[in-house]
Amino acid sequence: MTTNNRILSRALAGALVIGASLMLSGCIIPTLIGGMMESYKESSTHTIPLDFDGLQGKSFAVMVAADRRIQSTDPSLVAKLTTAITARLIDNAGASGVVPPQSILELQYSTPGWAAMDYQQICETLGCDMLIIVDLYEYRLNEPGNAYLWDGRATGQVGVIEAGSALGDDYIYSTTISVGYPDGTGYGPTDMPLAAVSQRLQQRVIDRVSWLFFDHEEAYYMDY
């Protein structure tokens, strides 16, 4: 082989090595970056913007509605949700004032026909700018027809009434929430007590309702 051929062969071999290295890097580097990103997401949170900003600078009241069938599951459910959601919004929603939960609950308990009242009338009675209605139409802890397995589910509509609005008793904002607990199947009372299931399900309701009204942090991969 001549000197020129040897030089050409070595150059070609070097080019092949460099090309192979670049191709390998093209496969490995994106894979490594992708894996690092997934690892970061699994252990980190990101900011989720609010869905409705109308509470800022306004006074508000939170009213939770649930029928007797639902309240029989937990007689204190309405009071606990009303109090916790109100507290969360006081701390985060930028409102100028709030109707104490005790006043809301007193109105509901002392006025059997409160559900038939006009929303504008309720706003006037409570003296608030914004009335948040949380209407729970599903709330259960067990799988339907199976009292031996936990299958918690809470579903409802969240709506906002503005006092004096041209829309009257129509919501100026509304959305549906639905959360469940446990996240897996096959769990029963021997795996977790009723109180734990009820508390976790209620906390998820509180989160999903209150988070509608302020920017907040959520895990990249939320269970609910």
**pTM of the model as a whole:** 0.82
pLDDT of residue 8: 43
Cα–Cα distances in Å, from 137 out to 73, 116, 169? Answer: 13, 17, 19
Domain boundaries, the chain: 3-43, 48-219
Q: What is the mean pLDDT of residues 108-134?
A: 95
pLDDT of residue 7: 47
CA distance 34 to 42: 12
Residue 158 · residue 148 · CB < 8 Å: no
Q: Each residue of 146-195: pLDDT tens digit?
A: 989 999 999 999 999 999 999 999 999 999 999 999 999 999 999 999 99
pLDDT of residue 42: 73
Q: Which residues of 191-212 are buried (b: 16+ CB within 10 A; e: fewer)?
A: eeeeeebbebbbebbbbbbbbb
Q: Each residue of 201-222: pLDDT tens digit?
A: 999 999 999 999 999 999 999 9
Q: What is the mean pLDDT of residues 60-80?
A: 95
pLDDT of residue 44: 85
pLDDT band at 145 (very low <50, low <70, confident <90, very high): confident
Q: Each residue of 8-49: pLDDT tens digit?
A: 455 445 545 555 554 555 666 667 676 666 676 777 899 999
**CATH code that applies to domain 48-219:** 3.40.50.10610
